[in-house]
Amino acid sequence: MNRRDDLKRFTYPERLIHWVAGLSFVFLLFTGLAFSHPRLFWITSLVGGGSTARVLHPWMGMLFTGSMAIMFLMWAKEMVIKDRDLMWLKAIKHYAVHDKEKVPPAGKYNAGQKLFFWSMALLGIAYVVSGVPMWLPGGALGMGPFYGGVVNSMRLVHYLSTVAGGGLLIVHVYLGTIAYPGTLRGMLHGTVTRAWAKLHHPLWQKEQSGP
Ligand code: HEM
């Protein structure tokens, strides 16, 4: 699969953590959707039934949070927004219609990818902060330390952040697969073609080629 001319885009640990976060997030979205309306509860049968889904959802949430924390430590430095990213954002409408000539050249990540990273990092915090009170309720519902008012307002935060994260994920998956062929390969096998890098991340491609 890999050719001599290909460029290394993601290391094995980067890909492993990305897919742990990706797959756990999809699991969370589907089980969360099942809990959101009685008509959708049938979805839990795909993971072994309602009680199994209820037990697995928060633990999977812990796995997602842990993988996001590692992803954050691995990538935060590369995701710092620079001046050239602001220029890229100004030209985002040209990027959306694949008018490459009018889009300033991107480094390893473009500004859209960087914003996605920071949004998911913030949403990751919102999920865990709002999810734990629902996991450990007190009073009639359980022995935990969190009570009615807090649990209910956290439920709203959890719902709203899920809608935001779910929407962002759809865009992310679309851009990484259908919209830009050759991108998924980097996250599966670790390498991309030089032509792909030159087209989508020209500054990074130049850096990789050396002086
Ligand atoms: C489950 C389906 C997913 C697919 C198919 C997918 C695909 C990809 C691909 C192909 C890349 C490489 C982009 C490049 O080389 O420029 C990537 C990068 C990345 N992915 Fe995912 N991903 C998925 C889920 C997720 C989830 C759930 C998260 C976070 C919670 C996530 C966070 C990231 C981040 C932060 C990057 C680096 C920046 C970026 O490219 O946007 N991914 N993903």
Q: What CATH number is associated with residue 112?
A: 1.20.950.20
The reported pTM is: 0.94
In this prediction, residues 118-142 reach a mean pLDDT of 93
Domain count along the chain: 1
Ligand 1 touching residue 187 (CB < 6 A): yes
Does residue 109 register a pLDDT over 70? yes
Task: Determine, yes or no, domain membership for 177.
Answer: yes
| Amino acid 132: pLDDT | 96
- The token pair that represents 164 in the structure block: 């935001």
Q: Which domain holds residue 20?
A: 7-209
- Atom 8 in ligand 1: which residue has the minimum CA distance? 176
User: How far is the centre of ligand 1, averaged over its atoms, from the C-alpha of 19 (Å)?
Assistant: 8
Please state, rounded to an integer, the average pLDDT across all residues of the chain.
Answer: 94
In this prediction, residues 138-153 reach a mean pLDDT of 85
Task: Determine, yes or no, domain membership for 2.
Answer: no
Does residue 40 register a pLDDT over 80? yes
Ligand 1 touching residue 120 (CB < 6 A): yes
In this prediction, residues 117-142 reach a mean pLDDT of 93
Task: Determine, yes or no, domain membership for 20.
Answer: yes
- Atom 12 in ligand 1: which residue has the minimum CA distance? 187
Instruction: Please state the atom number of ligand 1 nearest to the C-alpha of residue 180.
Output: 10
Task: Determine, yes or no, domain membership for 11.
Answer: yes
